[in-house]
Amino acid sequence: MQDDPRSGQPKTQRTDANVDRVRTLVRSDRRLGVRVTAEELNMTRKTVRQNVKEDLEMRKISLKMVPRILTHDQKQRRLHTSSDLLRNSQLFDRVITGDETWCLQCDPKTKRQSMQWKTQNSPRPKKARVFRSQVKTMLVCFFDHKGIIHYELNAQRQKVNQQFYLEVLRRLRESVRRKRPGH
């Protein structure tokens, strides 16, 4: 007893031709989801997911958020300045520096919408932050050549004034005394 040949959908859509079709479409727009890709190519979502993950060895990641994207010249200048400073490393043994920055809340929808497919060898995509958040707090951080000595997050709606900084500097002094006896 044998099956008669019949028309209809093949048992598998994981053919080399379909993998190439998926590769072409995903590379044309890396933000496409599995559902949209499956609809566009008239394939099942399961097959598209297998093609992308197993055959093309891609995974979907979100963009790395960076404060700003530097030019090649800006990166080179920072590298040369840092190298010059490191040559005089004894200078930094007693230096403590501080910085402050506003930490803003991220919108998870924006992160989800920015996800893209990538292979193991392709670099992680970057995008500069272009929006401001209503929820923010200030991070004050002090460090030396070995790493962070003291940091604080100010309470939301706390005034950042002379009194605030005096209290932060008192707590910094105590941290330094604990971590560097004799200073």
pTM of the shown model: 0.40
The pLDDT of residue 160 is: 83
Which residues, 6 or more positions from 143, have their beta carbon under 8 angstroms from its beta carbon?
Answer: 96, 97, 98, 149
Q: What is the pLDDT of residue 145?
A: 78
pLDDT for 70: 85
Closest CA to 67 of 31, 92, 99, 115: 99
pLDDT by residue for the chain (183 residues), tens only, comes to 777 776 665 556 778 888 999 999 998 988 888 999 999 999 999 999 999 999 999 988 887 777 778 899 999 999 998 888 777 767 777 788 999 988 876 655 566 677 788 888 888 777 766 566 667 788 899 988 788 889 998 877 778 889 989 999 999 999 888 877 765
**What b/e sequence results for 78-109 when a residue is b if at least 16 CB atoms lie within 10 Å of its CB, and e otherwise?**
eeeeeeeeeeeeeeeeeebeeeeeeeeeeeee
In the prediction, which pLDDT does 20 show?
Answer: 92
